[in-house]
Amino acid sequence: MSSSKEQASISQVMCFLHEWDQGSKTVRSRMLSDFLAKNTGKTCPELELEFAQVASLFLARLTAWIRLTYMFGTCLDLQLRAVGVFLSANSSHQYMIEFLEVGGVLTLLEILGQDILKEGDKTEALHLLQIIANAGQKYKELICESYGVKAVAECLAKSETEGTQENAAALLESLAHGNPKYQNQVYKGLIALLTCTSPRAQQLVLQILRIVQPIVKTAHHSIVEPLLNLLRSLHLEVQYEAIELITELMQSEVRLALLRGLVAFLKPTKQRNPKHKILEDPEVAKMTDSLPVLLQQAASAKTIRILAQRSEEISKELLSLRVIHHLLFAMGNQEHADSQRQASLALEHFVRMYPVVEEHVRRALGTRLFESFMHNADVLHLNMDDIQADILCSNKVNISCVLEDQNSNS
């Protein structure tokens, strides 16, 4: 570039910066729109050529304006997208360093925590954080050191739009990869998110946990209760992901705790109390939401069947936990047909696998009901009367004792 052209370019940039410094919100918004239209997708050398080798001067002004005005949402979408032009440009390492040195990460994380800001602004902030995280391990560590895991997790839990939720989830997953110093912090943050109320967020967190669990290797005991509680979900996609994660945790330290929980949920407390008495007692009414408990019972029976079909070792472990007694109880629960159906299908597996189970179940069901069960366990509950249901709910079957006797004799 000739000297005269250089001078003309520098003069043009100085006029641009002067207009920015003197401009109102309206003027700056127009300038940002023009900047995005002309420079989106450009590389670092192309941006430097556009700004006569002083693009950093505009980035500094842009960053300062964001810090001063982000709490008011002033042109925030345009501001963040403009920063994205710098951070996403090829060979943009110097721009990223400059942005981080003036507290860029903290500003983005603070944006996530502002309830008054638009979801789209938070999505854009998450996008910039993702760009920073993608730059390497030390940048992921910087985000985590700035309490980024907490901020992103809270954003995911509170967000009302799928776009923001998905971006927050993707960032949490990214922070768990190639970040050994903080991967456990991310893992525990994900476990804490299992108690959030958004079904979509729950589904996303379960999916990420299935990816992150092999990275951290050791399963934390705190995952057991919130994970099992998700079997109460009214949303089948959440139940599905919960069951998949439970299945994958069968090779971990929390296996026994999960199996015990699944068996216990087949026989929920107060399940057989008459409905009118529950409603008459306000204290019990506050504590008991019958539908989620029934959904959890059915989902537990389904999960037990899946686990038992995949592993004989787990089948025997379940037998030692008195799973047959509990499945028979669930089969007698006439308040929820799906609990009866799922328990019947799970029980069928054990009956066909173990003669000792068949003998005890035949005795508990009676000849006629047992024959109907063996013919089509899927619809057994349709042929069950109140007396038979009560008999199943009061059964005393204890296969674990028989197994212990067999093991001692052998």
Q: In this structure, is residue 332 part of a structural domain?
A: yes
Q: In this structure, is residue 162 part of a structural domain?
A: no
Q: How high is the pLDDT of residue 92?
A: 83
What would the pLDDT profile of 140-152 be if each residue is shown by its tens digit? Answer: 999 999 999 999 9
Mean pLDDT on 2-10: 78
The sign of the dihedral angle between the CA atoms of 311, 314, 320, 324 is negative
pLDDT at 206 over 90: yes
Q: How high is the pLDDT of residue 323?
A: 97
Q: In this structure, is residue 233 part of a structural domain?
A: no
Range of the domain at 389: 255-267+282-404
Q: What percent of the chain has pLDDT over 90?
A: 83
Q: In this structure, is residue 189 part of a structural domain?
A: no
Q: How high is the pLDDT of residue 279?
A: 43
Residue 89 pLDDT grade (very low, low, confident, very high; cuts 50, 70, 90): very high
Mean pLDDT on 307-311: 96
Q: In this structure, is residue 375 part of a structural domain?
A: yes
Residue 103 pLDDT grade (very low, low, confident, very high; cuts 50, 70, 90): very high
What would the pLDDT profile of 225-255 be if each residue is shown by its tens digit? Answer: 999 999 999 999 999 999 999 999 999 999 9
pLDDT at 170 over 90: yes
Q: In this structure, is residue 385 part of a structural domain?
A: yes
pTM: 0.88
Residue 290 pLDDT grade (very low, low, confident, very high; cuts 50, 70, 90): confident
How many domains in the chain?
1
Mean pLDDT for the chain overall: 91
Q: In this structure, is residue 219 part of a structural domain?
A: no
Residue 380 pLDDT grade (very low, low, confident, very high; cuts 50, 70, 90): confident
Query: Could you tell me which residues come within 8 angstroms of residue 116 by beta carbon, excluding any fewer than 6 positions away?
Result: 71, 73
Q: In this structure, is residue 300 part of a structural domain?
A: yes
